[in-house]
Each structure stands twice: as structure tokens, then as C-alpha cells.
Amino acid sequence: MEIEIKCLECGKRTRRFEVGHAAFTMDGGKEIILKDTIICQKCKKDISDGSCVTPSGIFIISLLGITMGMIGEKEGTLKIPPHLKGMAIVTKENFEVLKARSKASIKLVDKLNNHSKSDIK
């Protein structure tokens, strides 16, 4: 799935960042966990350990798109676009198990403005 992220190391944004296989829980989770590490496209640092954020509103819109695509695929009328593939919505219990095996996480925030690394941890 492609999302916009902000690196908290260099402060720059990357649009259309491909997160690969990821998981999210709908019951109050404020982070997305990823199978792969995250390298900032701008400063080239490893920002996997909570050093990047993404707007929660845009993320939720993408989840709605995935849901509509899944319904359409079942009915044979629509396919999930390639930029929305790779996201799994899981239970809180499954999320904790996957989190122990994940290599990265992205924190969800209201807006990308005015966030630093110390604000997120």
C-alpha cells in the first residue's frame, strides 16, 4: 500500500511511499506495523523504529478504498488497485503477535506538521 510518510530524522515527506505487507487494528490502534524496514527516501536513514508518521485521515481513506475493492472483487465488478494492496486489518491479539515479528512501525497522526521525534515516542 502506498501512503505519505514524514521522516522525523530529517523532517521531510515522501509521497507514495510503498509500505509493503502491513497490518493495522481498527480497535483503537495508533500505528501500522510493517513486515519490512523503512528507509527514508530523502536522508537514507533507517526510520523503522517509530521515526516516521503518516496522516491518519489519508490512511483511513485508503482502508475504505481497500474495503470497496474487496467487495468489488467478491462480486466480480472491481479489483483492488495496486497502490492499495498489502494491508491486513487484524484483531488486537493478532496485532500484538505480528508486532513482535515486524521490522517497522509507522505512527498515525492527525497532521504531518510540527511533529518531532520526541513528540511521538
Exposed, middle or buried: residue 104 (CB in 10 Å: 0-12, 13-18, 19+)?
A: buried
pLDDT at 81: 83
Domain ranges of the chain: 2-112
Cell of 33: 506495523
pLDDT at 3: 93
d(CA 100, CA 82): 27
pLDDT in tens, 40-65: 999 999 999 889 999 998 888 888 88
The DSSP output letter for 84 is: G
Chain centroid offset of residue 39 CA: 14
